[in-house]
Amino acid sequence: MEHFNVEEIDEYGSILTLDTTILKQNLDYFKSLINPNTFIMAMVKAVAYGHGAIRIASELEKYKAVNYLGVANIQKGIELRKAGIELPIMVTNPVSGYFHKMCEYCLEPVLHNQDLAESFSDFISNSSEIDSNYPVHIKFNTGMNRFGFDLEGINSFLKLFRIANWKVKSVMSHLSCSDEESEDEFTLKQFETFKQIKLILEKELPGDTIWHILNTNGVIRFPEFQYDMVRVGIGLYGASEYLPAREFIKPVGTFKAQIAQIRHVKKGESISYSRGGRANENKYIGILAVGYADGFPRSLGNGNWKVEFNGKLFPTIGNVCMDYTMIDLGIEKNTIALEEYVTIFGGIQSIFEYAKAQNTICYEAMTDLGNRVQRILID
């Protein structure tokens, strides 16, 4: 039976083991693509793409592996600070009502529109305890059309910049299809737009302003546009929808679940909700302590996924429940023992196959893993 440190897990039986050696190897690969003096921002948003933000951030900080961390909102940045993380943290979508908390925990906002930028400037003006040189990151839209000032609005930004009570730490943009070779013409237009923005802004911004536009697939495919910093997200965890990248990076996580019960069912008996499964012969089934509340979706029930144990694969049977999933163990009673762990992905079957079985991308499959799934670091 596989054992884990009981101080690190609770009695609930689904876990995601995180191989720190692979994490470092992935990071080293990205470092090999950029100049030694180029900064790296590790994106730990969405619970570090499902891998556990605190554990991943702590590991990266311990080894002095990156220069910045990126999160999606203020609360997630606060959680990292409370866990002792000291690296600079960029917040991609700060909410004005929580500026005071953001500054209290030394989190750096991305100002991505005029109203937000003005609100933060006003907040600093009315807060005597906060330095007027508070660092901010300015985002420009170069074609993603999600967040960011437009090139056409650059003069409005400059008017605010000249009177604003904050300091521009970096200027950034985001690529929308850097993994799609068929869209390279569009990506190159994004780079050209960013270049135009830089040519205008650098005349007025501080000389130490950091410029960055590359994401994971951008680093892999367009390292010549690395500027001063790159942002590595999904690739850090060993995944990419750009197929050639999978030759160089390896998934960090292995998803496992524990056998909560083994029972015998007779031929013709039904299994799980709505009698979704049927025994075509007398057989044994295993009940896994994982369900759709943990990120194992209902779509993978009824034989649409197989779990691994000792090099063998066992299909699901019946509908996936909120907390449990049944697997078909066949006619042999001693196939798996009670409380053994089976592998859902990360063994014979990869995260990519797991995502494909759900008709989605690896990003979604990773980040769907729930809070009850225990994240455990291994070397």
What pTM value is reported for the model? 0.93
Domain co-membership, 103 together with 138: yes
Domain contains 23: no
Name the active-site residue from 12, 242, 273, 312: 273
Domain contains 3: no
What is residue 122's three-state secondary structure? helix
Interval 17-40: pLDDT, tens = 999 999 999 999 999 999 999 999
The strand pair at 68-71 and 167-172 is best described as: unpaired
Interval 51-109: pLDDT, tens = 999 999 999 999 898 999 999 999 999 999 999 999 999 999 999 999 999 999 999 99
Interval 234-243: pLDDT, tens = 999 999 989 9
- What confidence score (pLDDT) does residue 2 get? 60
273 is catalytic: yes
Query: How many domains would you assign to the chain?
Result: 2
How many Cβ atoms are within 10 Å of 18's Cβ, its own excluded?
21
* CATH number of the domain within which 139 lies: 3.20.20.10
- Domain of 236 in residue numbering reads as 34-241
How many Cβ atoms are within 10 Å of 31's Cβ, its own excluded?
17
Q: Across residues 132-147, what is the average pLDDT? A: 95
Domain co-membership, 233 together with 93: yes
- What confidence score (pLDDT) does residue 309 get? 95
- What confidence score (pLDDT) does residue 211 get? 98
Q: How confident is the model at residue 11 (pLDDT cuts 50, 70, 90)?
A: low
* CATH number of the domain within which 306 lies: 2.40.37.10
The strand pair at 14-19 and 167-172 is best described as: unpaired
Q: Across residues 286-295, what is the average pLDDT? A: 97
Name the active-site residue from 45, 139, 256, 306: 45
Domain contains 224: yes
